[in-house]
């Protein structure tokens, strides 16, 4: 297994409360890694350290290292916007920006000046809407406000928006928890389709989703990583008592 993200001695704090305790894990390249655990175990906090989102919370602090391709994203000379361009995020609730569907996808391209001329933009927007499986539903209303879409469509739009900036890593923070079952299926299907091209890390609190998606699984409890390994091994033969209890639905 080739690691894309390596986490070394990572601790995270909200004020004086320690949310992550000495995390050491590796996330494999171009596979889906699922982080699971009961609510409050720190799985979202861990995810937020991968795109330097934790520092948006007032009073949050981090020690240790997160290496993406061997480069510490918490090093002093690192440009946060570059990190976030490489590490995309699919949030829990879709947040379409207050602009048209087209502009939502073009936004990142425009900010990072990744295309030139109207035609290139149009092509790119179409391409990523197709990848996200939304093109056919929106091609006739590209210039309408994105807030007019259904919530499931909004989440696929957010996926297209995130993919447009060509990240290497996709983070999903319970990306289907606000969606109806059909829309959730859409998103899961997309993540599975895309996993050969992107390293994907998904936080989930539903065990069934974890089993459907995971190639690699991490189980967390009370701010610590209890067990991490290939999904098959974790789900069929967990080594830790707490993992076993969680998988059996004891908490």
Partner 1 sequence: MTDQNKTYTTQTNTQTEGRSSRPSSAARNWRDRSAQKTFLVITVFPLLLISAITIGLLWRSWPILTQYSLQELFLGSVWKPDEGLFGFLPFIMGTFWVTVVGVVLAVPPCLLIALYLSEYAHRLTRSIAKPLLDLLAAIPPVVYGVWGLLAIVPFVGKVVAPFSKQWLYSIPFLAVNQPTGFSILSAGIVLAVMIAPLVISVVYEVFTTVPNDLRHASLAIGATQWETIRYVVIPRVMPGIVAAVVLGASRAVGETIAVLMVVGNVSQVPGSIFDTAYPLPALIANNYGDMMSIPLYDSALMCAALVLLVVILIFNILSTVVLQRVLERRQV
Q: Which residues bind partner 1 (CB under 8 A)?
A: 51, 53, 56, 58, 81-85, 88-89, 91, 93, 95-99, 107-108, 111-112, 158, 161-162, 164-165
Closest CB 247 distance from partner 1, rounded Å: 31
The first and second tokens of residue 53, run together, are 């989102």
On whether the CB atoms of residues 234 and 219 are closer than 8 A, the answer is yes
- 147's CB contacts (< 8 A; 6+ apart) are 96, 98, 154
13 or 107: CB nearest partner 1: 107
Based on CB atoms, which residue is closest to partner 1, 132 or 228? 132
Nearest to 49, CA basis, from 30, 73, 28:
73
User: Are 34 and 77 contacting, i.e. CB atoms less than 8 angstroms apart?
Assistant: no
Residue closer to partner 1, measured from CB, 101 or 164:
164
* Alpha carbon distance 227, 90 (integer Å): 25
**Which residue matches tokens 């990142």?**
108
In a 13 Å sphere around the CA of 149, the CA atoms on its Cβ side amount to: 32
Work out how close the CB of 120 gets to partner 1 at its nearest, in angstroms, rounded to a whole number: 18
Nearest to partner 1 of 83, 210 (CB atom): 83
Q: Which is nearer to partner 1, 52 or 242 (CB)?
A: 52
Q: For the chain, percent helix, then strand, then coil, each to nearest 5?
A: 40, 30, 35
Find the shortest distance in angstroms from Cβ 165 to partner 1: 5
């Amino acid at each position: 297994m080739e690691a894309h993200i390596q986490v070394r001695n990572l601790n995270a704090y909200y004020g004086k409360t320690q949310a992550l305790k000495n995390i050491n894990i590796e996330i494999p390249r171009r596979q889906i890694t699922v982080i699971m655990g009961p609510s409050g175990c720190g799985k979202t906090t861990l995810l937020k350290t991968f795109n330097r989102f934790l520092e948006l919370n007032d009073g949050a602090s981090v020690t240790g290292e997160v290496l993406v391709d061997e480069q510490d994203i918490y090093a002093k000379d690192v440009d946060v916007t570059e990190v976030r361009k490489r590490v995309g995020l699919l949030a829990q609730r879709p947040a379409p920006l207050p602009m048209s569907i087209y502009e939502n996808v073009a936004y990142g391209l425009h900010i990072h000046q990744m295309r030139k001329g109207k035609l290139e933009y149009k092509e790119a927007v179409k391409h990523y809407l197709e990848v996200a499986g939304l093109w056919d539903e929106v091609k006739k209303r590209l210039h309408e406000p994105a807030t007019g879409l259904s919530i499931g469509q909004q989440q696929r739009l957010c996926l297209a928006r995130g993919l447009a900036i060509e990240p290497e890593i996709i983070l999903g923070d319970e990306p289907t928890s606000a969606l109806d079952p059909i829309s959730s299926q859409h998103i899961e299907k997309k993540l599975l389709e895309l996993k050969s091209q992107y390293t994907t890390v998904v936080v989930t609190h539903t065990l069934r989703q974890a089993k459907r998606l995971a190639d690699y699984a991490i189980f967390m409890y009370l701010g610590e990583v209890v067990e991490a390994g290939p999904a098959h091994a974790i789900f069929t033969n967990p080594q830790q008592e707490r993992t076993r209890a969680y998988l059996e639905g004891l908490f």
